[in-house]
Amino acid sequence: MQLFSSSIGRKIVMAITGQCMVLFAIIHLLGNSTAFGWLTGGLNAYAHHLHSLPLPLLWGFRLGLLALACIHIWFGIQLTIENRACRTQQYAVKNMQKASFASETMIWTGALLLLFIIYHLLHFTFQVINPETGALINPDALGHPNVLAMVVAAFQNVGIALLYVGAMVVLFLHLSHGIQSSFQSMGWSNDRTQPCLIKGSTLGALFMFLGYAAVPLIILVRILK
């Protein structure tokens, strides 16, 4: 299959997997936003809904996401190694015209995001980091896992809150290039739409950053307790 072996094919796979993960990130953000109280029962109710999904569906979803991430990471590393080999000697003067800090650091922002996601899963999903505040062992009044309490406890710690906000800066960088890049790789771009895509991509990434960073920040400054 040319999609998995060719240069353009692998870029298209990068784009599709990336876009799927962005979609997941949007859903995740919607879930997070229940912390602001628009869903009766807030974050805990949302978590309960998720957990009451049939197990095969939940795990199917989780494994699917895992597969997407693995493909994205695998091809990302492979393409980067190949690209480095295509320019063995650099120019004496580095003088980029259009490339941005974000576009040049995709592999590193990607790697940082991977580390963050592992930390985040261990922290809030599997709750092996700081297990004493874990939601599963501290149910709320309805007997559901008290996710809100876990999150609040975590983000009242300045270090953890700043770690999450920092990770979201990295996410912003990765997405500000990644979103528009995925449109270009899929061929959904022309000279008229491209400037809008570039702006839209930055705005989208900014929106994600603000959305995600909002929860740790409002907890840190004790707006949400």
Partner 1 sequence: MSDHKTMTLTLIVWRQKNANDPGKFETYTAKGITEHHSFLEMLDVVNEDLILAGKDPIVFDHDCREGICGMCSQVVNGMAHGGQDRTTVCQLHMRKFKDGDTIYIEPWRARAFPIIRDLIVDRAALDTIVQAGAYVSCHTGGVPDGNAILIPKPVADESMDAAECIGCGACVAGCPNGAAMLFTGSKVSQFAVLPQGKPEAAARVKALEKAMTDCGFGNCTNHYECQAACPKGINVKFIARMNREFLKAQFS
Q: Which is nearer to partner 1, 52 or 90 (CB)?
A: 90
Residue type, 199: K
Q: Calculate the dihedral angle through the C-alpha atoms of 108, 128, 160, 36, rounding to the nearest 10 degrees.
A: 100
Binding span for partner 1 by CB under 8 A among 23-31, 56-64, 78-86, 216-224: 78-86
Task: Answer yes or no whether residue 20 interacts with partner 1 by CB under 8 A.
Answer: no
CB of 67 to partner 1, least distance (A): 21
CB of 72 to partner 1, least distance (A): 14
Binding span for partner 1 by CB under 8 A among 54-62, 81-89, 113-121, 140-148: 81-89
Q: Which is nearer to partner 1, 145 or 178 (CB)?
A: 178
In terms of Cβ atoms closer than 10 Å to its own Cβ (0-12, 13-18, 19+), residue 174 is buried
Binds partner 1 by CB under 8 A, chosen from 27, 67, 82, 203:
82
Residues between 94 and 113 with contacts to partner 1, criterion CB under 8 A:
94-100, 103-104, 106
Task: Answer yes or no whether residue 195 interacts with partner 1 by CB under 8 A.
Answer: no
CB of 7 to partner 1, least distance (A): 5
Task: Answer yes or no whether residue 8 interacts with partner 1 by CB under 8 A.
Answer: yes
Task: Answer yes or no whether residue 196 interacts with partner 1 by CB under 8 A.
Answer: no
How big is the site for partner 1, counted in residues (CB under 8 A)? 44
d(CA 100, CA 109): 13
Q: Which is nearer to partner 1, 40 or 97 (CB)?
A: 97
Q: Find, among 217, 208, 213, the residue nearest to 152 by Cα.
A: 217
Q: Which is nearer to partner 1, 40 or 190 (CB)?
A: 190
Residues that bind partner 1 (CB under 8 A): 2-3, 6-12, 79, 82-83, 85-100, 103-104, 106, 177, 180-181, 183-191, 194
